[in-house]
Amino acid sequence: MDLAGKKVLVVGAGISGLAAVRKLIAMKAEVFLTDKQPLAKLQGVKELALSPRQLILGQEPDLDSLQPDLLVLSPGVPPELPFIQKAVQQRIPVWSEVELALRDTPATVVGITGSNGKTTTTTLLGALAQATGRRTVVAGNIGTALSGLVDDLGKDDIIVAELSSFQLELIHKARINIALFLNLTPDHLDRHRTLENYGAAKARIFLNQTEQDLAVLNWDDSYVRGLAGSTKAKVAYFSRTELLDSGICLDNGTIVIRDRNGSIPLIKTSELLLRGNHNIENVMAATAAALELGLKPDQIREVLKKFKPVAHRQEIVGVYNNILYINDSKGTNPDSAIKALQSYDEPIVLIAGGKNKGLDLTEFLQVAKQKAKSLVLVGEAAAEMEAIANKIGIGRILRSESFEDAVRKAIGEAEPGDVVLLSPACTSWDMFKSYEERGELFKELVRKHYREP
């Protein structure tokens, strides 16, 4: 891929866009950056040292005057924007930042997609990949852009990448050597419109696989299981509910590795620090990939025993006055939040709300009715949630004026032996820049409350 001297328009000045610009500058491309925000509201753009001519900010670019050879889109940019559609009509290539980063890498690429569990599985696989002794980069949708981090990797190195539907829908030649598809539940329908479109975008993770590659699929998810014919790669299944003839599965509380030669016990689920059935599935998927990377079962077991929940995914904030505080700010859709609720047997004070992504919240609130003694609502979706909660008969509902007020109310509701769970079932974009910012504030507010008299 030689982009030297080519005009490349990078769309979106977030983490991915800035990383793409830096990579393209290093490739000696003529780079232009556009974003709907003005320069004053953007961080890190000034440091790129682009000329005023190269910055198209606060407005849409004029493709006729710019005449770019390539567009590189940040994940948050909808391809339906008129100027992007115009580029497609003019046969100007449109790539995701992931395509730019991975298109020519000689390293082994392990990619993880799915509606839920991506970050935990990616982080766990990063630890497992490092246990091989090979140089490993963990990046992607996990919060660190791939561009710039993978440029000097060789064929013996490993890239572990969390890949969202937004990133995958615009890959073309990037090859994912070990592709994990964890599950599919409704999410991002405000962007993809239908579940079929959403699933198809994620299934592009298999697009360029060969017979030498591996696809890891969830046997228990009928859509994902049906994707076996979408790849040329070998297929490895994992299942929490069935004892497979071959694959990673559960046998009387023990995760086992099975094939035609028999069954190898790996680890008891009680030995894992990760809680919940969904995390058992994440461990199984990661195990299948780790075996393909060359790790032995005893090596995998040692990593699994020590692995703790990642930040903002059922992260333990602390136990105060015998009340357990859990930060699951990454629970940004109903299915993810349901899984968090089902991980605890204790009485739950649930903080939920934020910006809904066009998803039905009814099932989530029905589970909340069963599991939560109090429901504290906050953000843009609070009114919608309250209406559904009243309709299905949730008894204790509290509305909050702010996120700080929501945490204060939740602390007031909690009694010794309870769990205070932040699992919003919504994005953070109505009140925060990211779910990380929301989760960090939750932790700060909880700890501050118990520090101060």
Place 94 in a pLDDT band, splitting at 50, 70 and 90: very high
- Tell me, yes or no, whether 325 and 414 share the same domain: yes
> Is residue 147 within 8 Å of residue 81, measured between CB atoms?
no
Residue 1 located in a structural domain: no
Task: State the average pLDDT over residues 57-64.
Answer: 95
Q: Which residue has the tokens 């993809």?
A: 192
Q: What is the pLDDT of residues 367-425, one digit of tens each?
A: 999 999 999 999 999 999 999 999 999 999 999 999 999 999 999 999 999 999 999 99
CA 90 to chain centre: 32
Final residue of a structural domain among 279, 306, 333: 306
pLDDT more than 90, % of the chain = 87
The CATH number of whichever domain residue 63 belongs to comes to: 3.40.50.720
The CATH number of whichever domain residue 273 belongs to comes to: 3.40.1190.10
At 324 the pLDDT is: 95
At 182 the pLDDT is: 96
- Tell me, yes or no, whether 139 and 83 share the same domain: no
The DSSP output letter for 395 is S
Among 117, 116, 115, 122, CA closest to 136: 122
Least confident of 93-97, 190-194, 408-412: 190-194
Is pLDDT above 90 for 357? no
- Tell me, yes or no, whether 117 and 86 share the same domain: no
Residue type, 32: F
Q: What is the pLDDT of residues 401-411, one digit of tens each?
A: 999 999 999 99
The CATH number of whichever domain residue 409 belongs to comes to: 3.90.190.20
Is pLDDT above 70 for 187? no
Measure the CA–CA gap between 421 and 352, rounded to whole angstroms. Answer: 9
- Tell me, yes or no, whether 348 and 431 share the same domain: yes
Place 191 in a pLDDT band, splitting at 50, 70 and 90: low
Final residue of a structural domain among 44, 67, 92: 92
The residue among 353 and 310 whose pLDDT is bigger is 353
Is pLDDT above 90 for 241? yes
Final residue of a structural domain among 306, 341, 376: 306
At 186 the pLDDT is: 67
At 76 the pLDDT is: 82
- Tell me, yes or no, whether 201 and 293 share the same domain: yes
- Tell me, yes or no, whether 398 and 301 share the same domain: no
Is pLDDT above 80 for 1? no
Residue 25 located in a structural domain: yes
Place 148 in a pLDDT band, splitting at 50, 70 and 90: confident
- Looking at every residue in the chain, the average pLDDT score rounds to 94
Q: What is the pLDDT of residues 205-240, one digit of tens each?
A: 999 999 999 999 999 999 999 999 999 999 999 999
- Tell me, yes or no, whether 372 and 420 share the same domain: yes
Contacts of 216 (CB under 8 A, 6+ apart): 178, 179, 180, 181, 235, 236, 237, 238, 285, 288, 289
Q: What is the pLDDT of residues 420-448, one digit of tens each?
A: 999 999 999 999 989 999 999 999 999 99
Residue 97 located in a structural domain: no
Q: Which residue has the tokens 């140089």?
A: 135
At 452 the pLDDT is: 76
Is pLDDT above 90 for 91? yes
Is pLDDT above 70 for 189? no
Is pLDDT above 70 for 203? yes
- Phi-psi category of residue 301: left, alpha or beta, with phi > 0 → left and psi -120 to 50 → alpha: alpha
At 192 the pLDDT is: 54
- Tell me, yes or no, whether 216 and 325 share the same domain: no
- Tell me, yes or no, whether 302 and 331 share the same domain: no
Residue 319 located in a structural domain: yes
Residue 133 located in a structural domain: yes
- Tell me, yes or no, whether 183 and 278 share the same domain: yes
Residue 2 located in a structural domain: no
Is pLDDT above 70 for 328? yes
At 194 the pLDDT is: 83
Task: State the average pLDDT over residues 295-306.
Answer: 97
Residue 43 located in a structural domain: yes
**Domain total of the chain:** 3
- Tell me, yes or no, whether 77 and 149 share the same domain: no
pLDDT more than 70, % of the chain = 98
Measure the CA–CA gap between 199 and 202, rounded to whole angstroms. Answer: 5
Domain residues for the domain of 31 are: 7-92
Is pLDDT above 60 for 166? yes
Is pLDDT above 90 for 27? yes
- Tell me, yes or no, whether 138 and 236 share the same domain: yes
Measure the CA–CA gap between 125 and 113, rounded to whole angstroms. Answer: 13
Task: State the average pLDDT over residues 80-97.
Answer: 95
